[in-house]
Chains A and B, each alone.
Chain A
């Protein structure tokens, strides 16, 4: 069974960041699936838990962080993710299978680092 990693990116910064990795022909695991949204703040806590239940091994939320164009969205997102961690703990899902991070439009090295760290985390799943 493959260890699929879901990568949630933003239209504003991390999706172009993922493109920059490709333009530089840097390599990473093919078990990675990038989806893009205006802002990950839209996902309810259950979205993440359902994704794990469906068989996703790891989730990286690549937010726009301080470059976020939406007011208060990053603060809300980080609070929400904290609650997701609590629910994951209750269900016995390892906390390192979900990661909230910030990726800019040219943050290539950081993008790859997040993926390799998540690969290590999901190897134990």
Chain B
């Protein structure tokens, strides 16, 4: 176990004899009109462990809060139960009262007798009162068994490692550095810029890929807090939140290590490579992918679109090559999976490229063979409009009726069952076939396997939750930026990378990372070392068996434990519990509730 983790001081100094103060709120009649609050207070006053039980009009008011503070001072109350409204409204209020009065704030139990009693049992005053008594007694049983909790802190390396030096990686490093964090970019290629270095003019700005990458690179080079390692080969990534280590070989053969508190995965994408013979790719001449076509266009002379020295007078764009694949229609990839996802950016890229052809080589005929045109972005619809206006001929097919390319010496014939002409079988001749290929994630299998990073069925890195935690991996302290997560265009990658940097900056805002105290805690005296609990844990490295004081015991890494309690259920001797939510507490609560 890492010595940098401060143990949860769950058993501070000594375990005080519980002296519970119980406070019943009238809520100005909201509770007291239904529940006999005097009877509840009277029943609780006699309950074992309770030193004082009071009822008051508004416990949340400053007079109500003072009541508790006074009792702590005068009567030596060291635990409190407040029976009032929902804890979502005032649990924090009362924890703060305890804190101000010098008692650990977690030695409070909040009982909900408004939303979950007086408001829902209006016709049953006796029943509601009996229930309130039981719930308050259960609360007393729970709070008697509570231990003080303190935030666990992990010392962290004040540095972000950004794996990948494409535009997302550069943006993430810039944003982190902007906040004052040190950032280290680790890039396998000899220079920064990633896939953009291969691309020509790009939407939305019309700049060359190299120009866009160049703007960010200039900012990176000017930022003293960013260091850059290019041309390196990562051979190890390990550690956990606050304390990651990345080992790599430099281009000169030497080895380096970067220590970082957080990692940003900006490992990017690769273009889908069509299978041999897919729409004639690799077999017929003049079948290229869209990225290949964009560079070809870049190198063509003005006034004449050329490929292999021959003039191209007509071309057909075939959309969704390697994207939106369908079981039974498309051949699986090497790993047995099909690419059933939409690659998001290709429709707009393809039409943007078509428009450039029309601008530079107005005579070139363009056929666009598609299923749905997904020009979703703010200006993207204008690319579609312009292409239609400039005479690009659109043909739409259903997924089951894939277009067929027949090639001979005179060129290609594209056969499409076109739904726009009500299912007519159309045939057009084209000098060049452009396969609008999608994106696949870069091969990062080594890092993924060493860090056990989750990926989705689409093989991209899988975030914890698309809306709640969209750039976080299940590995605490590891974030995703850009196309390592899913296809996106440059502006979208900028947003994702900035947000990944934000998460890293939040994590490393203080020298010590505060962790939730509600994590699993092992009673080493009870633990028999049976090993059942680690098998039940979903979080890699959070719970392991280890030798401690000459004994094999379960050991929790609080930096990785999420406190779900899955381990608790399987321990045959009840040696492991989630701090703040122990089984003993719940047994005692159920006992109190069940008692006649």
Q: Which residues of A contact B (CB under 8 A)?
A: 1-2, 4, 6, 16, 18-19, 21-23, 25-35, 37-39, 41-45, 47, 50-51, 54-56, 69-73, 76, 80
Q: Knowing A22-B115, A51-B590 touch, does A41 contact B120 (C-beta < 8 A)? A: no
Q: Is the CB of B135 within 8 A of A33?
A: yes
Residues of B close to A71: CB separation below 8 A: 474, 538-539, 562, 564
CA distance A31 to B488 in the complex (A): 54
Question: Chain B residues in contact with chain A, CB under 8 A?
Answer: 86, 88, 112, 114-117, 119-124, 127-128, 130-131, 134-135, 138, 465, 474, 518, 536, 538-539, 562-566, 568-571, 578, 581, 583, 586-587, 589-591, 593-596
Chain B: minimal CB distance from A26 (Å): 6
Determine the chain B residues whose CB is within 8 A of the CB of A42 once the complex forms: 564-566, 568-569, 578, 581, 583
A33 contact set on B, CB distance < 8 A? 131, 134-135, 138, 593
A-B pairs with beta carbons under 8 Å apart, 14 shown: A2-B596, A6-B590, A22-B120, A29-B124, A30-B121, A35-B138, A44-B568, A47-B583, A47-B590, A51-B590, A69-B562, A71-B539, A76-B536, A76-B569
Q: Complex formed: what's the CA distance from A41 to B9 in Å?
A: 25
Contact (Cβ within 8 A) B119 A70: no
- Per a CB cutoff under 8 Å, which of B115, B123, B562, B594 touches A51? B594
Contact (Cβ within 8 A) B590 A54:
yes
Q: Please, which residue of chain A has its CB at the minimum distance from the CB of B130? A: A30
A13 to chain B minimum Cβ distance, whole angstroms, is 12
Cα of A26 to Cα of B122 in the assembled complex, Å: 9
Is the CB–CB distance between A73 and B115 below 8 Å?
Answer: no
Which residues of chain A are near B591, meaning CB under 8 Å?
A: 54
- Once bound together, how far apart are the Cα atoms of A76 and B568, in whole Å? 12
Per the bound structure, the CA–CA distance linking A33 and B593 in Å amounts to 8
Judge whether B518 and A25 touch: CB under 8 Å.
no
Taking a contact as CB atoms under 8 Å apart, the answer to whether A70 and B569 are in contact is: no
A56 to B581, CA, bound (A): 21
How far in angstroms is the closest Cβ of chain A from B371? 30
B120 touches A73 (CB 8 A): no
Alpha-carbon separation in the docked complex, A26 to B88 (Å)? 19
Which single member of A28, A34, A44, A56 contacts B590 (CB below 8 Å)? A56
- Are B596 and A55 interface neighbours, CB within 8 A? yes
A70 touches B594 (CB 8 A): no
The CA-CA distance from A55 to B596 in the complex, in Å, is 9
Alpha-carbon gap, A21 to B123, bound state (A) = 16
A39: contacting residue among B564, B570, B583, B589, CB under 8 A: B564
Give the residue name and chain of the A residue nearest to B536 (CB): A76
Tell me the number of A-to-B contacts counted with CB atoms below 8 Å. 130
Instruction: Contacts A23-B115, A34-B112, A70-B538 given; indicate if A44 touches B564 (C-beta within 8 A).
Output: no
Q: Is the CB of A27 within 8 A of B88?
A: no
Q: Are B586 and A43 in contact (CB under 8 A)?
A: yes
Residues in A with CB closer than 8 Å to B127 are 29-31
Question: Which residues in B have their C-beta under 8 angstroms from that of A32?
Answer: 131
Asked if B587 contacts A27 (CB within 8 A), the reply is: no
Q: Say yes or no: A76 contacts B120, CB within 8 Å.
A: no
Q: A19-B112, A41-B566, A80-B569 known; A35 and B538 CB under 8 Å?
A: no
Contacts of B595 in A (CB 8 A): 54-55
- Provide the residues of chain B in CB contact with A41, threshold 8 Å: 564-566, 569
Is A38 in contact with B593, judged by CB distance below 8 angstroms? no
Chain A residues with CB under 8 Å of B589's CB are 35
Q: Tell me which residues across on chain A come within 8 A of B568, comparing CB atoms.
A: 42-44
Least CB distance, A45 to chain B, in whole angstroms: 8
Docked-complex contact A38 and B115, CB < 8 angstroms:
no
Q: Determine whether the beta carbon of B131 is less than 8 Å from that of A30.
A: yes
On whether A4 and B116 interact (CB within 8 A), knowing A25-B122, A38-B581, the answer reads no
B565 touches A38 (CB 8 A): yes
Q: For A47, list chain B residues within 8 Å (CB).
A: 583, 586-587, 590
Query: Which chain B positions have C-beta within 8 A of A21?
Result: 115, 120
> Assuming A38-B563, A44-B570, is B594 touching A27 (CB within 8 A)?
no
Output the least CB separation between B27 and chain A (Å).
12
Tell me whether A25 and B119 are in contact in the complex, defined as CB-CB below 8 angstroms, given that A33-B135, A35-B589, A38-B565 are known contacts.
yes
B120 near A25 (CB under 8 angstroms)? yes
Chain A residues positioned under 8 Å from B134 (CB to CB): 33
Contacts of A29 in B (CB 8 A): 121, 124, 127
Shortest Cβ distance from B570 into chain A, in angstroms?
7
B594 touches A38 (CB 8 A): no
Contact A73 B590 (CB under 8 A): no
Question: Is B120 in contact with A27, judged by CB distance below 8 angstroms?
Answer: yes
Closest partner residue, chain B, to A68 (CB atom): B564
Contact across chains for B122 and A27 when beta carbons are under 8 A apart: yes
Chain B residues within an 8 Å CB radius of A80: 569
Return chain A residues, CB-CB under 8 Å to B583.
42-44, 47
Task: Name the CB-closest residue of A to B520.
Answer: A42
Chain B positions within 8 Å of A69 at CB level: 465, 562
The answer to whether A30 touches B124, judged by C-beta atoms less than 8 angstroms apart, is yes
Q: By the criterion CB–CB under 8 Å, are B124 and A19 in contact?
A: no
Given contacts A22-B114, A42-B583, 17 further A-B contacts (CB under 8 A): A6-B593, A21-B120, A23-B115, A33-B131, A38-B564, A38-B581, A39-B565, A39-B566, A41-B566, A41-B569, A43-B583, A45-B569, A50-B587, A69-B465, A70-B562, A71-B538, A76-B536
Partner of B569, one of A22, A43, A56: A43
Asked whether, in the complex, the Cβ of A19 is within 8 Å of the Cβ of B565, the reply is: no
Nearest CB in chain A to that of B562: its residue? A70
Closest Cβ–Cβ distance, residue B543 to chain A (whole Å): 13
A53 (CB) vs chain B CBs: closest residue: B594
Shortest Cβ distance from residue A62 to the other chain B in the assembled complex, whole angstroms = 12
Give the contacting residue for B581; candidates A30, A37, A51, A76; CB below 8 A.
A37
A41 CB → nearest B CB, Å: 5
B476 to chain A, nearest CB (A): 12
Nearest Cβ distance between residue A120 and chain B, in whole angstroms?
18
Task: Report the bound CA distance from A2 to B578 in whole Å.
Answer: 32
Q: What are the residues of chain A within 8 A of B562 when measuring CB–CB? A: 69-71
Q: B594 to A55, Cβ gap below 8 A?
A: yes
Closest to B142 in A: A35
Tell which of A1, A16, A56 touches B593, judged by Cβ atoms closer than 8 Å: A56
- Give the residues in chain A near B570, CB-CB below 8 Å: 44
Inter-chain CA distance A71–B562, complex, in Å, is: 9
Note all chain A residues with C-beta closer than 8 A to B121. Answer: 27-30
- Verify B566–A50 contact, CB threshold 8 A: no
Contact A50 B565 (CB under 8 A): no
A51 → B minimal CB distance (Å): 5
B536 neighbours in A (Cβ, 8 Å):
76
